[in-house]
Amino acid sequence: MNVNQVHISEVGPRDGLQSIKSVMPTEKKFQWLEALFAAGLEEIEVGSFVPAHLLPQMADATEVVKYAKSLQAGTVLALVPNLKGAQAAISAGVDKLTIPVSASEAHSLANVRKTREEMIQQVAEIIQYKNTVAPHISVEVGISTAFGCTLQGTVPEAEVIAMAVSLAAVGVDEIGLSDTTGYANPAQVKRLFKQLYQELGPRAGAAHMHNTRGLGLANCLAAYEEGVRTFDASQGGIGGCPYAPGASGNVVTEDLVFMFEAMGIKTGINFEKLLEARKILQAALPQEPIYGMTPEAGIPKGFNING
């Protein structure tokens, strides 16, 4: 991927939907996914394989994966927290697994009830299983709380990079950094991604930024300037970790696409079709706030953002 092109991975159907109270009907998920792929998104995180009683929003993950695969439109990605989840996701037919591993010990224990070392071992077991039954599937890890943690506060940068190196050693294909709690700032983003590239080279993965404190796009641009070319985003900015009152979580896909395209950096996404997908999202979740500055303001005169 060249300097004038980026890859945007849509995480709304998983990270977005599992973080809100409403449960989107399965049929509406199908419509939304079809519209997102039609807009030009080449990778979509469609669900997570966790117990339904813990996350009823994801109870239909198997059905959603199978439908997304039937569209034959792009990479179908699912989150798995453990080996059992990975087995279910692989059986459903995913193209790619993403595994949550926290740089914060406190967050790791609260989120998955495992220490950081236990999670790395779990990742190794998932990869071993995957290599045996479905070697074509790729595995990514977005290191969560890489920029700070609401439970323990500061997360030492050296520990983040050491974890990335350990994950690469057990066979993870891509290792990115996630601003789970919206703590990151552009200077910090540049430092950490620079170190990540120095240690991992081409295995350095996506920037997963949140807009909790209004720095989501600035942090994405900082990551881009350090060589990152893959970015997670959520349509309408749904989900994420909106701990600050009134603030949204994930970076808004529509705003991220506009920023890059306005800079002459291609995303491959048709903006008008992206807005059509947004209408499906809004209609399916009428009680949920949907964010985004560009959809509200519109595209400036003279701009042609059609992928």
Query: Which residues are catalytic, by number?
Result: 241
Report how far apart the first and last C-alpha atoms of the chain are (Å, whole number): 15
- Angstrom distances, CA of residue 27 to CA of 12, 97, 280, 286, 287: 16, 23, 11, 16, 18
Residue 274: which residues within 8 A CB-CB, separation 6 or more?
36, 39, 40, 235, 253, 254, 257
Q: Which residues pair with 101 in a beta bridge?
A: 143
**Strand 75-79 versus strand 43-48 pairing type:** parallel
Alpha helical stretches, state H, 46-175: 61-70, 83-92, 105-112, 116-133, 157-169
